[in-house]
Amino acid sequence: MHKVPLLDLTAQYAALKDELDSAVARVVNSQRFVLGPEVEACEEAVAGYVGSRYGIGVSSGTDALLLALMAEEVGPGDEVITTPFSFFATAGVITRVGATPVFVDVDPVTLNIDAPLVAERITERTRAIIPVHLFGQMAEMAPIMSAARERGIVVIEDAAQAIGARHGGGRAGSIGDYGCFSFFPTKNLGGWGDGGMIVTNDPARADRLRALRVHGESVKYHHRFVGGNFRLDALQAAVLQAKLRHLDGWTDARIANAALYTHLLEGVARRRRGRLQLPGVVTERHVFNQYVIQIEDRDRVRGALEAGGVGTAIYYPLPLHLQECYQGLGYRNGDLPESERAAGRVLALPVFPELNEGQIRHVASMIERLVSA
């Protein structure tokens, strides 16, 4: 029996062991572990890759989002529009600065925020919009940017899952006022621990972010703002620089794996319309951090796959507007039907770059059998 894990990082490490070990050794020999030249080089490399002027390395993707809101002084009384179908951090940071998340339902094909609906939910209190580029595919940025620009609202892209994704002539993270990335190990560019980065084209914003990540100081022990310790460390920066050189190759392999799944499953998806839905690709470059199908009796199919040695995951089983901590916001079941429907149907399949064709064919044939039964 083939075992197919959802993700296996050991294969990637084996292929790059010498390169990564020597990057880490470089930092160890320097004994400079916090910020410094490694972090600066990493910031320049990532910002250049994304197509933005400035990169600010931070402690995680969550902290990247939090710092963008802090830099704009978003706070109590303010509203921030976002999607209910994302990792919790996207909404959690809004609450942490004292603002109120306003959830706009998702498009049923891409599961990204339904961009044309965003303008309808803007009020005089709206200070920011946080679109998420879910699973590696960019949200539709054009209507979001024009609605925001007309009213002076800031746009913070949550590009944690989408480094290298492209649409409409721009890369994920380079279109809004801020682009936020995560280097959590399961992301397409993963560090050896937590890490993140904010990119921006605005020198004043870059300056403010650099101060905020070190307790709001630009001159040592003189504090312009109340910030925090949100720094990226040099070991992560060294690993990330080495890995970035391989990112396009890994992304191409993810895209090829996704294309093979779609090729193998599109027949049964057509025959069993309504029962099985494949990822809808509507943008130029979807980088497939996850390959997520939607399936009617998801839990039965998942159980059978697990029993057969195939790793899967559910991103995400409960939309954000229905989380216990957000009961006070007053949303009810049925308010955001597309995200609620997706939460009951989504299933992420293994798509990491080192999978081989036999493994993908094995997973696809199991799904075909389970869906046809």
Ligand X SMILES: *Cc1c(COP(=O)(O)O)cnc(C)c1O
331 binds ligand X (CB under 6 A): no
157 binds ligand X (CB under 6 A): no
- Quick one: three-class SS letters along 239-259? HHHHHHCCHHHHHHHHHHHHH
* Paired sense of beta strands 196-200 and 166-167, if any: unpaired
Instruction: At 10, list the tokens.
Output: 């050991």
137 binds ligand X (CB under 6 A): no
Contact stretch for ligand X (CB under 6 A) within 25-33, 59-67, 297-305, 325-333 = 59-67
239 binds ligand X (CB under 6 A): no
Q: For residues 85 and 196, what is the distance between their CA atoms, to the nearest angstrom?
A: 21
Shortest Cβ 89–ligand X spacing (Å): 4
Of 174, 182, 188, 257, which one interacts with ligand X (CB under 6 A)? 182
Contact stretch for ligand X (CB under 6 A) within 121-129, 156-164, 248-256, 263-271 = 156-164
Local structure of 17: helix, strand or coil? helix
What's the longest Cα–Cα distance across the chain? 68
Local structure of 276: helix, strand or coil? strand
Of 118, 129, 132, 360, which one interacts with ligand X (CB under 6 A)? 132
Of 178, 184, 316, 331, which one interacts with ligand X (CB under 6 A)? 184
Angle between helices 37-50 and 10-30 (to 10 degrees): 140
174 binds ligand X (CB under 6 A): no
Shortest Cβ 88–ligand X spacing (Å): 8
Q: Which is nearer to ligand X, 247 or 268 (CB)?
A: 247
Please name the residue that has the structure tokens 């998340």.
Answer: 101
Q: Which is nearer to ligand X, 91 or 147 (CB)?
A: 91
Residue-level length of the chain: 373
Instruction: At 47, list the tokens.
Output: 């910002």
Shortest Cβ 112–ligand X spacing (Å): 11
Q: Which residues pair with 349 in a beta bridge?
A: 291
Shortest Cβ 17–ligand X spacing (Å): 24
3-state helix, strand, coil in the chain (%, to 5): 45, 15, 40
Contact between 79 and 99 under an 8 Å Cβ cutoff? The reply is yes
Q: Which of 167, 173, 232, 181 is nearest to 52 (CA)?
A: 173
Q: Which is nearer to ligand X, 62 or 200 (CB)?
A: 62
Of 55, 57, 61, 84, which one interacts with ligand X (CB under 6 A)? 61
Q: Which is nearer to ligand X, 94 or 160 (CB)?
A: 160
200 binds ligand X (CB under 6 A): no
The helix (H) or strand (E) run that includes residue 96 is: helix 89-96
236 binds ligand X (CB under 6 A): no
Shortest Cβ 358–ligand X spacing (Å): 29
Q: Which is nearer to ligand X, 59 or 294 (CB)?
A: 59
110 binds ligand X (CB under 6 A): no
Q: Which is nearer to ligand X, 61 or 353 (CB)?
A: 61
Query: How many residues at the interface with ligand X, by CB under 6 A?
Result: 15
38 binds ligand X (CB under 6 A): no
The footprint of ligand X on residues 73-102 (CB under 6 A) is 86-87, 89-90
Instruction: At 107, list the tokens.
Output: 């498009």
**Residue whose C-beta lies closest to ligand X:** 61
Q: For residues 294 and 325, what is the distance between their CA atoms, to the nearest angstrom?
A: 27
Contact between 86 and 228 under an 8 Å Cβ cutoff? The reply is no
Q: For residues 39 and 32, what is the distance between their CA atoms, to the nearest angstrom?
A: 10
| Binding region for ligand X (CB under 6 A) | 60-62, 86-87, 89-90, 132, 158, 160-161, 182, 184, 194, 196
